[in-house]
Amino acid sequence: MNTALDDGLIRRNPCRIKGAGQEVSPERPVLTIAQVHQLAGAVHQRYRALILLAAFGSLRWGEVTALRRSDIDVESGAVRIERQLVEARGGGFAFTSPKSAAGKRTVYVPATIAAELRSHLDQFAGKAADALVFTGTRGKPIRHSHFRQRVWRPAADALNMKGVHVHDLRHMGNILSAAAGASLRELMDRMGHASTRAALIYLHGSDERQRKIASNLDVLARQELAESNRKRQRRPPRGTGVARSS
């Protein structure tokens, strides 16, 4: 219809709906580091590391619940994502490859989170290399709906965080990574995205970030000027030796 309109075959496009081409999604809450730790402290110890890793590793639900013991190196803080857990309709689970090639990646988590993972592996994970890191009380994969109803929602409600979703943990992790100085390419790698569209959402400017950039530029400029001045002071003036010898 737009082509017909451009070609002058019709006077107006009857298919146009005002605002239909715009997607307006509700703004998701941004959790603070303190709030994430509060949520992790309000659930059973079995699920504490899951919440912390999903946040500080920027992992999707299917990625964090598909992790095996062999995917985690607690010494370096490396977490390797090679598959995702998919829930079949009517029950059952399946392990599949990530949505795209970029989904297969390795992310590094802070040392404090690696320590939480070490404690979790010692207490709740099987000893085999292919044992799932996170399971329910019966050792089965965790179903998202059960986790939301029995673990997440009671903790969020008790902390007056109603309306906060499990996916908001990944959202918070992406924002933290951007605030920590991750470049567009680094943020894409960490999120597991092949396109820049999603990563650019988290690289929005802020007064605090702008002040940090200005402060870093000030440090760099001062260091460069100081080094330049030191080199100039060490260099003898031109022509001094010639004048004395004459």
Known catalytic membership, residue 193: yes
Q: Which of 68, 105, 171, 193 is catalytic?
A: 193
Give DSSP secondary structure letters for 93-110.
EEEE--SSGGGSEEEE--
Catalytic residue among 60, 83, 120, 171: 60
Does residue 157 sit in helix, strand or coil?
helix
Distances (CA, A) of 90 to 27, 31, 87, 93, 151: 32, 33, 9, 10, 22
Active site residue 202: yes
Q: Find all residues with CB under 8 Å of 131, minimum gap 6, and list them.
A: 68, 69, 125
CA 163 distance to own-chain centroid: 20
Of the candidates 146, 167, 211, 222, the residue annotated as catalytic is 167
Check if 47 is active-site: no
Distance, in Å, from the CA atom of 28 to the CA atom of 50, rounded to the nearest integer, reads 21
Say which of 83, 105, 120, 202 is annotated catalytic. 202
DSSP, res 132: B
Active-site residue, from 83, 170, 171, 190: 170
Q: Has 120 been annotated as catalytic?
A: no
CB atoms within 10 A of CB 210: 10
Task: Please indicate whether residue 170 is annotated as part of the active site.
Answer: yes
Q: Which residues are catalytic?
A: 60, 167, 170, 193, 202
